[in-house]
Structure 1
Amino acid sequence: TTYNLDVAFAHTDTSSFSLTGEYQSEAAQEAVEKRGAVKITHGYSKDHRPDLKQVVVTLVTSQKGRIPLWLEALDGNNSDKNSFRQTVDTYCRHLAEGNEPWFVMDSAAYTAENIGNWGKAQKWVTRVPETIREARRALQSVTTKEMTQLDNGYAIHATTSQYGGVDQRWLIVYSEHAEQRERKQLDKRVARAATKAEKALKTVQKQEFGCKKDAQQAVAKVSKKLKWHTVTATYHPIKKYAQPGRPPNGAQRQIVGWQVKTTCHVDTKQLEEAQQWLGRFLLATNELNQNRLPDETVLGSYKAQGTTVERGFRFLKDPLFFADSLFLKSPTRIMAMIMIMGLCLLIYALAEWHIRQQLQERDETIPDQRGQPTQKPTMRRVAQMFEGVDLLIIRRDGQIIERQVLKLTPVRLQIIRLFSPTVQNCYLDGF
């Protein structure tokens, strides 16, 4: 079967797969050293299981259809900064010249070494990490009102950069949804900081200081650590008579120490400054021609990461389709299993894409989970709809004389007829 798929954008990402087992046997070491198998070891765990060894998997998918185009198993301690460059270079070597897609990646791919290595040879769209000073300046270089407003709660503004020695287009993006999310996160951070500050200041207020300067230094030490708050302090002398008992006439109390009373306030100016730039991120591409790649397309391609390659990883890690944990004795077997999982994802994605195409072309629908008509069902939903279909085999004198597929409802028959004759024959042969 030939599929007319649009692979203009190749969404690229990695994920870790945690494994049970030590993988310290001689056979495992030999597989790594002599047969080029991946190294099962500890690394940064995207599964939040740093206690387990792991293998890293790179996945490349198309934007339309979410079809897996490339799958590769890597060492468990692999760095995304290096693997992205190797994946892009290796993938492009398998393509005919001129067919290179735009690779869409997260900020781990954006390093001076990577983009300098790609230059103009490879086309890419990636997020720029905000740890880069130039990126932070760019994000605060324009107000939201000065940006081009889009209909979906986004605003964009294009500028240029030569970071890494490569001419590129930077796209400053504002998201209303992201601002709301980040504002809630900021409020939580400020509240936690206030609790921590009050605790530290309470300790200071309980102390007695030998002189006023010591008290001021104690308050200054706490204030220096505060990002979102300011401290107002008043200093009170502790006065006592020089000797115990009833003081003589005319005796004056002497200052024997100092205490502090403090009030903690939110630094309104600092908070408003931070709130002004919430909901922003920066995208970059080495495609300078906006006619070939408009700003809106740059944003749309990056937003599609969550519904393309990340969706592929969710499928691979879903216990409904695969086991929730993996263990195989040999690293080579693990590599083989990952390839089988990738083939399953390929079949799943192609089947889903085919069903949706056929429904649209025939102007038909099938019911979704809520019973509402849809032309974009997931393959998972289709599989659930076929639960309960039975095969009846009738034998006479040890010979099969008839096969019947039971419980083929009208909706199930409709779905079957969306597929090729080969699939139809599995259910409808003899009908």
Structure 2
Amino acid sequence: MVDPEIVETHTIGKEGFIVALCESLGVPEIINKALGSINGRPPDIPYGVDAIMMMVNMCDDHMPLSRLQEYYQYTDLEGLFHHPVKLEQINDDRFGGFLDLFYAAGCKKIFSQIAAKAITLYGIQVTNINFDTTSKVMWGLYETYEGTDGVIKMDFGHSKDKRNDKKQIKFGIGCANGLVVDATVLSGNKDDKTYNTDTINALDATLHNLNVDKDKFYYIADSALFSKENLDLSTQKDIKLITRIPDNVLIAKESIEEAVNRLDTLEGIEVINAKGKPIPYRILEKTCTYQEHELRLAVCYSPSLKATKKRTVDKAVKREMERIIKVSKTLSKREFACEEDANREMEKVNSREFKKLKYHDINYSLRLEERRKRGRPAKGKDRKVLGYRYFVELSPILNQEKITKAIDRACCFVLCSNDLEITGKALLREYKTQDSVEKKFQQLKSPQFVNSIFLESPQRIEAFSYLMLICILMLSLAEYVVRRGLMEDDDYIIGPRKAKMKRPTQRVIYDVFYAVMIRVICYPDRPWERSYARPLNESIKKILKYLKIPEDTFIRGSNYHF
């Protein structure tokens, strides 16, 4: 009979799931090997366990490093991390030292090794990578030091969070099949064009690391990629690009105008979005030359954007009308001595104020008022007319044809590639996968993930940021692999409100493990025994199977060695 006083129950499913993912990807071994070669002497807790302790906290309920002891206060540490860990060993000095070593070992290199292991372990084929950047606000008063090579800078820059009053860092992320396979932590003032140039320069090493066939590969990014420098570089390195041409570039303006004028004759196609829903498009395909580069263009018209763009254009029409009324009120109060002066002023106003009108036409007219002699006229006579006053009046006319064309133009965008063999449909389909990067940005900025970062050195911030990116890599990997497995088996898991889900999100997958509960018998004189307080449900078993995680991962204690 076991003494009830030595029996504990723990709910560590979500934390244990992150640990299991780390172990399946070999994260502890990779980090131990990289950091062990720097320090030289074995630590009391393996560096891989230090990293996992921080990542578990990031994914669950992020607390500052100084409060991690509080976070793990009621946790079976040995059962969770599969290594003897005492609560008093968890302190911010330990994690600060770990971040220093992690930075010195090359966090970017370690991330790349983990990404390569993930691709290989789960048999994921990478053909295209979508690249983009985002910013994260830094709330501390960081000094910006010049001349320190290789160290990121917390600095002011174009804030994608619309916080131009705060310093920031930036993240460059590359996604394939919704999975983060490449990532870089950047200085806060790094612009997207330079990021793309640097990424293209390093692309051969990235593709080699991920075992990607360069002949079939496409580098996909937003309009920041479109520049003569990047086109020159991609030609030099024999890299195929897919990007969007900015709307203010002449070839884009001309191509959109051509598509709008031929809208009824354009080819209609459908592209399946991330939710499996077909989205209609009309496409104009053509070839053009830009800065001595032959490009394949696809001018895409999206009818589904019409309602949104109509609201946008309607607001612009209203603003333009308000500007016309303001000018009209000012002009109508001005008096001119002769018709020539009034006509001259109409021409000035037309060229100065109304030259760029998009939605209205203006009708001008002259209003005449008699200018009579002052004073009371003689009895029975009218005041003598001395001349005339001239006033300019204008009336705006809404041009519905211009508005319709403006809406149609707003529904168009121009994609291009330096691969002249690609079809317009393939160009659009591949570019639309850019949404996968945006979804990772949402997670990166989520306050439930890591709300804010404040560390005392840029090196520690960079190291901490790469741990965040490893977390996103693992969670996106879990989502991809589980969805793939469920699709192959035509199966589902039970999500919130007992919903049957064939395409669960990473958040749903993570939350499923809340149901894991273990029982621990804390013997004072021999190893503790762990067992499940209730059996694992079928959804958990399916997820573990797809991710190649053994079912005893939550109860095996420290018998497992890295």
Distance 2:467 2:281 in 1: 40
Q: Structure 2 unaligned segments of length 5 or more: list them.
A: 1-23, 25-120, 271-278, 558-562
Aligned partner of 1:242 in structure 2 is 373
Distance 2:124 2:378 in 1: 98
Look up the equivalent residue of 1:71 and give its one-letter code: A
Distance 2:166 2:468 in 1: 21
**Are positions 1:305 and 2:434 aligned together?**
yes
- Partner-residue secondary structure (3-state), 1:119: helix
Distance 1:61 1:219 in 2: 56
Tell me if structure 2 keeps the 8 A contact 1:201–1:222.
Answer: no
Distance 1:350 1:98 in 2: 18
**Are positions 1:41 and 2:155 aligned together?**
yes
Aligned length: 418
Aligned partner of 1:14 in structure 2 is 133
Cα offsets for 1:187-234 (capped at 9, x unmatched):
210111112211221222234344444444444444443312222233
Post-superposition offset of 1:160? 0.9
Aligned partner of 1:172 in structure 2 is 299
**Are positions 1:127 and 2:235 aligned together?**
no
Q: Tell me how large the CA RMSD over aligned residues is.
A: 2.7
Look up the equivalent residue of 2:319 and give its one-letter code: R
Specify whether residues 21 and 255 from structure 1 end up closer, same or farther in structure 2 by C-alpha distance, changes over 3 A only: farther
Cα offsets for 1:264-316 (capped at 9, x unmatched):
211345334434534111111111224xxx4322111111111x111111111
Look up the equivalent residue of 1:162 and give its one-letter code: T
Aligned partner of 1:284 in structure 2 is 416
**Are positions 1:193 and 2:320 aligned together?**
yes
1:103-118 matches, cutoff 5 A: 103-118=219-234
Distance 1:388 1:361 in 2: 25
Cα offsets for 1:90-148 (capped at 9, x unmatched):
02234349722201111111111210221161111111112221222122234122222
Tell me if structure 2 keeps the 8 A contact 1:106–1:127.
Answer: yes
Distance 2:340 2:463 in 1: 70
- Which of 486, 507, 510 is equivalent to 1:359? 486
1:30-429 matches, cutoff 5 A: 33-62=147-176, 64=177, 66-96=178-208, 99-100=213-214, 101-119=217-235, 121-142=238-259, 143-151=262-270, 152-224=279-351, 225-226=353-354, 227=357, 228-247=359-378, 249=381, 251-255=383-387, 257-290=389-422, 294-306=423-435, 308-323=436-451, 325-369=452-496, 371-387=498-514, 389-395=516-522, 397=524, 402-406=529-533, 410-415=537-542, 417-419=544-546, 422-427=549-554
Distance 1:314 1:257 in 2: 64
Distance 1:33 1:261 in 2: 62
Specify whether residues 20 and 98 from structure 1 end up closer, same or farther in structure 2 by C-alpha distance, changes over 3 A only: closer
Distance 2:182 2:482 in 1: 23
Distance 1:365 1:170 in 2: 40
Distance 1:139 1:420 in 2: 46
Post-superposition offset of 1:372? 3.6
Look up the equivalent residue of 1:13 and give its one-letter code: D
Q: Structure 1 unaligned segments of length 5 or more: list them.
A: none
Cα offsets for 1:230-268 (capped at 9, x unmatched):
222332223243122245525423335333443221134
Post-superposition offset of 1:8? 0.6
Q: Which has the higher contact order (CA 8 A, sep 6+)?
A: 2
Tell me if structure 2 keeps the 8 A contact 1:111–1:164.
Answer: no
- Partner-residue secondary structure (3-state), 1:425: coil
Task: Give TM-score scaled by structure 1 length.
Answer: 0.88
- Greater mean deviation of Cα atoms: 220-229 or 167-176: 220-229
Distance 2:310 2:344 in 1: 33
Specify whether residues 395 and 269 from structure 1 end up closer, same or farther in structure 2 by C-alpha distance, changes over 3 A only: closer
- Greater mean deviation of Cα atoms: 67-76 or 40-49: 67-76
Tell me if structure 2 keeps the 8 A contact 1:230–1:265.
Answer: yes
- Partner-residue secondary structure (3-state), 1:189: helix
Cα offsets for 1:18-69 (capped at 9, x unmatched):
2122322xxx63xx6345101221111111111011122111110x2x1111
Distance 1:388 1:179 in 2: 45
Taking only the aligned residue pairs, the percentage that are identical comes to 25
Cα offsets for 1:379-414 (capped at 9, x unmatched):
101222333544433335576654344455634444
Specify whether residues 351 and 98 from structure 1 end up closer, same or farther in structure 2 by C-alpha distance, changes over 3 A only: closer
- Partner-residue secondary structure (3-state), 1:203: helix
Tell me if structure 1 keeps the 8 A contact 2:517–2:534.
Answer: yes
- Runs of 4+ off more than 6 Å: none
- Partner-residue secondary structure (3-state), 2:298: strand
Distance 1:134 1:59 in 2: 29
- Partner-residue secondary structure (3-state), 1:426: coil
Look up the equivalent residue of 1:242 and give its one-letter code: K
- Partner-residue secondary structure (3-state), 2:147: helix
Look up the equivalent residue of 1:299 and give its one-letter code: L
**Are positions 1:4 and 2:132 aligned together?**
no
Which structure carries more helix by proportion? 2
Tell me if structure 1 keeps the 8 A contact 2:518–2:554.
Answer: no
